[in-house]
Amino acid sequence: MAVRQKSSELFREEPNMNIQSLRLRGLAFAAGVAMLAMSCFANADPPSRVIRLGYATGAVSFSPAGEDDWVQASINRPLTIGDRLWVDNGARAELQIGGAVMGLNAGTSVTVLNLDDSVTQLQLTQGTMSVRVRRFDPNQVLEIDTPNLAFTVRQAGQYQVGVDADGNATDVVVRRGRGDVYGEGASYVLDAQHPYRFFGTGLREYEALAAPPVDDFERWAMERDRLYDTSVSARYVSPDVVGYQDLDSHGSWSTQPSYGSVWFPTRVDAGWAPYRDGHWAWVDPLGLDVGR
């Protein structure tokens, strides 16, 4: 049975969660967030990367940055700074960027806080997010902010972050890999030895949890991960091309003497022409985007 403990006990009794220059690391984190916010205002150019909504089932709602209205989210929608996503009861969704995939369970609310060439910062206000990182560049930052803490991925691996409906506690489960968890004036390193539940905003109270069993949501996320791990298209397309695994279910590859490796769709309507089906939409600050 988990027992709530003080952070001093955490340091003394759990050597695998080493405290790291708490005051300095906390100040550095706050300064880093401030600089990121300032850079967003100073840089008028849109981000070179976007987050792709690669999968959605059930009622998944989307609200663009600066707007109060919510609409049904559509597959392939690019998300950028300030965009919000709500995954309703009975629904699930998947976000994709670079070498990372974020699965969202029912009852999950996510906002894109910051996004540029090196930083991906998401706000998880409630619900559960499964994070699979296949490739991790030391110069990249992938951070999940909750009402209680900020969790930063340090290695490729499998992670899960959950926030209760009231925002009073955050669970961090490291299945594989390592990450840093930050609070007010404190930070710890988490590895795959023990999951933890943190209360408040200073990491002063926590519970060491037993490793949770794999539930339906995590099994779904693992099955989605296998689409990437076994993708035929990964042999032909750069892994930096977001959504390459979707090519597998819509066509096949063949080698042509004049062109090399070519992807052919499984089915094309008579008279098909590029950009004829679907629609165009203006996506701030990116410009025109073609959807289906």
Residue range 79-128, pLDDT digits in tens? 999 999 999 999 999 999 988 999 999 999 999 999 998 999 999 999 99
Which residue bears the tokens 């409906």? 165
Q: Where in the chain is the domain with CATH 2.60.120.1440?
A: 5-215
Residue range 211-228, pLDDT digits in tens? 889 999 999 999 999 988
Residue range 122-179, pLDDT digits in tens? 999 999 999 999 988 888 899 999 999 999 999 999 999 999 988 899 999 999 999 9
Long-range contacts of 74-77 (CB under 8 A, 24+ apart): 74/291, 74/292, 75/292, 76/52, 76/243, 76/291, 76/292, 77/52, 77/53, 77/291
Strand partners, 56: 93
For residues 130 and 260, what is the distance between their CA atoms, to the nearest angstrom?
Answer: 37
- Between 19-28, 153-162, 229-238, 245-254, the lowest mean confidence (pLDDT) is in 19-28
Q: How confident is the model at residue 31 (pLDDT cuts 50, 70, 90)?
A: very low
- Between 49-63, 88-102, 103-117, 230-244, the lowest mean confidence (pLDDT) is in 230-244
Sign of the Cα torsion 132, 87, 51, 112 reads negative
Chain mean pLDDT for the chain: 83
Q: How many other β-carbons are positioned within 10 Å of the β-carbon of residue 112?
A: 22
The CATH number of the domain covering residues in 5-215: 2.60.120.1440
Is this prediction's pTM over 0.85? no
